[in-house]
Structure 1
Amino acid sequence: MAAQITGSVGLAGSANIGEECAMFEAIHGSAPRRAGQNVANPSGLLQGAVMMLNHIGQTDVAEKVQNAWLKTLEDGVHTYDIYKDGTSHEKVGTKEFAQAVISRLGQSPNILKSVSYSNNSIMHLPAYKRKAPQKKDLVGVDLFVHWTGTDPNELAASVKKIESSDVQLTMITNRGIKVWPDGFKETFCTDHWRCRFKPVAGKKLEKEHIIQLLQDALNHKIDSIKTENLYEFDGVAKYSLGQGQ
């Protein structure tokens, strides 16, 4: 998000630093639609490389590369994603941008703030300590269904047919908003519904109940999409509530 605010997702690098190894890369994906066209902005990968150089202690090299990159941007040499008429001076491709940075090695920007990494130190992370496992309890299941109707009460009447002596329908949401029971008719609904089932009071939900729920949905021609189990850990709910619940 921060990279996009600056002008392009192609501008930022990222670091994944572990106890024994580290990985550095651009924040964006592989962009297959740009493959072989010599148009992609290489800045993200370059920024990842600068972070790597700092991490391994080659701060002088990182500083030289970063300042050359800043000087290139300042001179208005831009790839298509950040090129702007009236501000940019030259629209270049991937290779040409990289060559522009290389040609400016040893230079620093005049307007943009130059960087100095001489006081940087290698990051040393404390050893990871695994937390003690928490007590995990299955307390419900969300059954997601595809339904093209618009009245949540009508859907609830249909879905309640698959209730049993062990599980019951407690809530229906659409786009995260509770629409049953006691929903608002003004709520705009799509064809993707979440039906939340909880165990009947005094009963314990088992995986077998979920399997039976899916079988009953099939028998009643309810178009189930997927399920998501609801858990409590050490008695604390770790699942989302519906808005308005």
Structure 2
Amino acid sequence: VLTNLQGDIVSDLCAGLVGGLGFAPSANIGDHISIFEAVHGTAPDIAGKNIANPTALLLSGLAMLRHVGLTENAAVIENALLYTLENGVHTGDFGDKTKPAVNTTEFADAIIANFGKQPQVGAKPIIANMPGTPAPFKLVQNSMMVSKETEAEMIVGVDMFIESSEQPEVIAHKCQRHGGVKFNLINISNRGTQVWPTGSVYTNLVNQYNVRFESIDGSALNQQDVIGLYVSLSGNFKICSLELLNMWGDKKAYSLAQGQ
């Protein structure tokens, strides 16, 4: 049981342990909405061909039935599925290759024909349905999660992403004129590779640079300082975006550039 992002990653990795994506169901249980779906997604390359393995989608549906309390219905369907698999009925993506594969419709019809039958292995107990619908919970306002940082936040610099087809030395010369009394030009990089104050003439460049300014002597800055630098720098360059460089207490909340 994992959060949504990690659940997506692990469900893809674990699919290989259960015979492939065609057998991997998933369930996302939320506070207000739950989603049950096959891990494999839409599979557009076989759409409309009637050859897909519906097992993962069926198992996801069984999880949904159990979630809403229809345990008896879920057990009957799952036992029929297991009985069908024990008898060697399979789609083209799995099973005994010496036996002819069936299409999606034929596979589903075989499962339906086996309702009420018990597999030899892994039969699910028939537990009476206990359907339940939770009382609707109406939110008055949007929920809000707030980070609780115990250390004081301080702005100590900014990365300016600029567009230019000029060489690094030319860009550095122009940028240094805009630092004023609060900013030092520290580093210029292109596609993550440092090109100033040192760099290689063999580095292949694109017309977008990351220009890093840091405060003089590590003193605290404010957003007005950063905006002032932005306005000044925009006289020479198109600025695509910027990223503040923050400190949390004595810890840098940003990555050091190459060469720092």
TM-score, normalising length: structure 2: 0.57
Change (3 A) 1:103 1:244: farther
Distance 1:167 1:97 in 2: 71
AA of the residue aligned to 1:203: S
Gaps of at least 5 residues in structure 2 are: 1-8, 95-99, 127-144
CA 1:132–1:206: 2 relative to 1, 3 Å: closer
Matches within 5 A, 1:1-245: 3=12, 14-17=26-29, 20=31, 23-26=34-37, 38=48, 49=61, 52=64, 68=81, 71=85, 75-77=90-92, 89=101, 96=105, 99=108, 103=112, 132-134=148-150, 135-149=152-166, 151-201=167-217, 203-220=219-236, 222-245=237-260
Return closer, same or farther for 1:138/1:99 CA change in 2, 3 Å cut-off: farther
Aligned residues: 219
Structure 2 counterpart of 1:123: none
Structure 1: distance between partners of 2:208 and 2:119: 52
Is the CA contact 2:156–2:219 (under 8 Å) kept in the aligned structure 1?
A: no
Q: What displacement does 1:143 show?
A: 0.7
Deviation, 1:179, is: 2.4
How far the C-alpha of 1:147 sits from its partner, in A, is 1.9
- The RMSD of aligned alpha carbons is 4.9
Q: CA deviation at 1:198?
A: 0.7
The higher radius of gyration belongs to: 2
Unaligned ranges ≥5, structure 1: 83-87, 119-128
CA distance in 1, matches of 2:191, 2:201: 14
Q: How far is the alpha carbon of 1:207 from its aligned partner?
A: 0.5
Distance 1:166 1:174, change over 3 A: same
